[in-house]
Structure 1
């Protein structure tokens, strides 16, 4: 389980946190000719080896990275603008299945080269999941419903403010769950609703209201789910 968590953390870092948007755009335009596709593969090799912390894991890290590149290349060649959401999901599921396969293949315990205990890896992975990866996931899922009114009001907002607010609220939710203050999640949701009420009332757009509600509920739902999973895994270590 811990090996999978470490590899999943490396995947999140390589696919979401440390992969610039410019790399993604260049890969989509040039596919197998893009230098960033191969840099992306090398990044995954590096991250897998560093996070696992075992020299003997290098061949498995190369296996993960090469298969990762193959999956990405398949997605780049077959996805269309209308099917990007579907291919995003297929792509991520394929990567996770590869990680599971490598864990079963490696079958080795007590990987603690970096000196961190299992709680560190569980907490770090949970925190990383609810930041940029979750933001990208939510944006991909609800982009099909993006209302025109939302785009017209973006000029009045701080740059990427909504994204950072979403990340912060999910971090708060996970912290509340891990500290046993579930009631605080309700206060957080109520506070956000109050601040959002003025914008939605001014917009007078039902579609925008529904769009915001869907995004908010998905965000809180994911944060609660991750918080409960992290809490459960930490309790198992006691």
Structure 2
């Protein structure tokens, strides 16, 4: 485990701590001809060797250097094909981490992967997935008739309410699992403070009631899910 942790730390240093935005822009513009692309992969190689501090791992460092170069190079050329630039970014990061995982456990990769999946808390994963998008869809169906009676606020970000609800339910689920029920009250208070000005300016009783009902349903779903998980 410590080997993977060191490799991951070297990746974080190389990709985020010592890569200026100037390098990123230069790579996007010049692609394979960018000198910063080669500086970048050499920094990864150096960070890996420094953190491992063992010359016997030089083969792992070389694999990481070559794979990082190829993955970054491919990303530079496919990046313009995506309207949402976060998609190639996350794909790039997942591929890098998979390479690190394979390097860390190359001598027993298959068995370690099986053990990893066997140790996963599938009840927790199911609970977390449920309070995210499935719960958001359930809420939208429950509140569908009410939402039709409200004037849409075009100034708000698209789907902002949905993502706020998902994040708050994940927080509530985590607080329940950690037995921190008081933190749920603080979360409700914080949300109420942020919503206060919106409700005050709109002066709409329907909107106030809609937000209150939606908040109670959202927290209720997360609380019930947390209680079910604990009892399982």
The 5 A counterparts of 1:137-216 are 182-183=180-181, 185-198=183-196, 200-201=198-199
Partner of 1:116: none
Partner of 1:45: 45
Q: Give yes or no for the alignment of 1:77 onto 2:77.
A: yes
Partner of 1:92: 93
Give the Cα separation in 2 of the matches to 1:199 and 1:53. Answer: 55
Partner of 1:15: 15
Q: How far did 1:41 drift?
A: 0.6
Q: Residue by residue, what CA displacement relative to the aligned partner does 1:54-88 show, whole Å, maximum 9, x if unpaired?
A: 23223321320221111010011012241523222
Partner of 2:29: 29
Pick closer, same or farther for the CA change 1:187–1:82 going to 2, 3 Å: same
Q: How far did 1:197 drift?
A: 1.9
Give the Cα separation in 2 of the matches to 1:72 and 1:98. Answer: 13
Give the Cα separation in 2 of the matches to 1:21 and 1:200. Answer: 36
Give the Cα separation in 2 of the matches to 1:203 and 1:51. Answer: 55
Which of 1 and 2 has higher RCO (CA within 8 Å, sep 6+)?
1
Pick closer, same or farther for the CA change 1:192–1:102 going to 2, 3 Å: same
Pick closer, same or farther for the CA change 1:38–1:198 going to 2, 3 Å: farther
Q: Residue by residue, what CA displacement relative to the aligned partner does 1:90-122 show, whole Å, maximum 9, x if unpaired?
A: 212211121122113367xxxxxxxxxxxxxxx
Q: Which runs of 4+ in 1 moved over 6 A?
A: none
Q: Residue by residue, what CA displacement relative to the aligned partner does 1:191-232 show, whole Å, maximum 9, x if unpaired?
A: 53244224654786x9xxx9xxxxxx9xxxxxxxxxxxxxxx
**Which runs of 5 or more residues in structure 2 are unaligned?**
109-153, 158-170, 212-217, 219-232
**Larger Rg: 1 or 2?**
2
- The alignment of Structure 1 onto Structure 2 pairs a total of residues equal to 142
Pick closer, same or farther for the CA change 1:186–1:65 going to 2, 3 Å: farther
Give the Cα separation in 2 of the matches to 1:203 and 1:68. Answer: 51
Pick closer, same or farther for the CA change 1:25–1:59 going to 2, 3 Å: same
**Which runs of 5 or more residues in structure 1 are unaligned?**
108-146, 151-172, 211-216, 218-238
Q: Residue by residue, what CA displacement relative to the aligned partner does 1:153-207 show, whole Å, maximum 9, x if unpaired?
A: xxxxxxxxxxxxxxxxxxxx8xx98xx6633542553353244224654786x9x
SS in 2 for 1:82: coil
Give the Cα separation in 1 of the matches to 2:57 and 2:201. Answer: 55
Q: Residue by residue, what CA displacement relative to the aligned partner does 1:123-167 show, whole Å, maximum 9, x if unpaired?
A: xxxxxxxxxxxxxxxxxxxxxxxx8656xxxxxxxxxxxxxxxxx
User: Any conservation in 2 of the 1:149–1:203 contact (CA below 8 Å)?
Assistant: no
Pick closer, same or farther for the CA change 1:192–1:104 going to 2, 3 Å: same
Q: Please give the TM-score of this superposition, normalised by the length of structure 2.
A: 0.50
